[in-house]
Amino acid sequence: MSYETILVNAEKNVATITFNRPKALNALNDKLLTELSAALDEIAAQKDIHVLVLTGSGNKAFVAGADITELATLDAAQGKACSEKGHKAIGKLQELEIPVIAAVNGFALGGGSEMALASDFIYASEAAKFGLPEITLGLIPGYGGTQRLPRAVGANIAKEMILTGKMISAAEAKEIGMVNKVVAPDALMDEVMKTAEAIAAKGRVPVRAAKKAVNEGLNVDLPSGCTIEIDAFAACVSGSDAKEGTSAFLEKRKPVFNA
């Protein structure tokens, strides 16, 4: 499919979605959310895609938030529909069976931070900035920020960020556990693709099982989470990926997993 607000590319079992509204700092409008949702459905249907990378076009922004020109016109019913649409589109990142890496190359504010938080982990440029500034507009985060940020960094830090609307640097985001790695701007995509390709080279079944076990386990108590892990392990152990991985180890060679 072709899109107007995003670019979609696939290479070496890794797909990349680039938010492509540079004049608006890649802000999330209704059309972008529609196209993102469709692209995620398209990627989910392709068995040869093992990892998804998200980034923004240009060197200023990943996603600078929701499009305020649209938000300013909404009544309560329209606001609910807008929030539901954003939740549905961004929520698909967690629902994807494959891992999702956010390559945050600039401003990730409001919906941009919410998009990154819905990914499995975040690599950031030294120039990146994070924040949930909705409170300064008389609003609150509407695309999952009040739920995902506390789970990522703890309730106290999340409430401070949300209630003040302050913006933090990539280094601060790493310090609080929001970001995994911070690199020079010109090294960001190389570093992200190195990790994406390393994951893509692993067995497809265990990678997906691991993501599912972690995500589902976070929503239950520890004993229930351990049961999820036991069932996932059992499903993997008799599969072809496990047979190849264990055989390669015993034969002292590098495993070659089926794509």
Statement: residue 102 has pLDDT above 70: yes
Share of the chain above pLDDT 90, in %: 93
How confident is the model over 72-85, as a mean pLDDT?
Answer: 93
**What is the pLDDT, as a whole number, of residue 66?**
85
Whether residue 21 contacts residue 58, with contact meaning beta carbons closer than 8 Å, is answered with: no
Whether residue 3 contacts residue 31, with contact meaning beta carbons closer than 8 Å, is answered with: no
Spatial distance between the Cα atoms of 114 and 144, rounded to a whole number of angstroms: 6
What are the residue numbers of the active site?
114, 134
Cα within 13 Å of Cα(244), Cβ side: 15
Close Cβ partners of 226 (under 8 Å, ≥ 6 residues apart): 217
Confidence band for 148, pLDDT divided at 50, 70 and 90: very high
DSSP secondary structure letters along 237-252: HTSHHHHHHHHHHHTT
Confidence band for 113, pLDDT divided at 50, 70 and 90: very high
Closest-CA residue to 110 (of 167, 154, 153): 167
Confidence band for 69, pLDDT divided at 50, 70 and 90: confident
> Any idea how long the chain is?
259
Distances (CA, A) of 149 to 36, 110, 153, 162, 223: 22, 11, 6, 9, 24
**What is the pLDDT, as a whole number, of residue 259?**
55
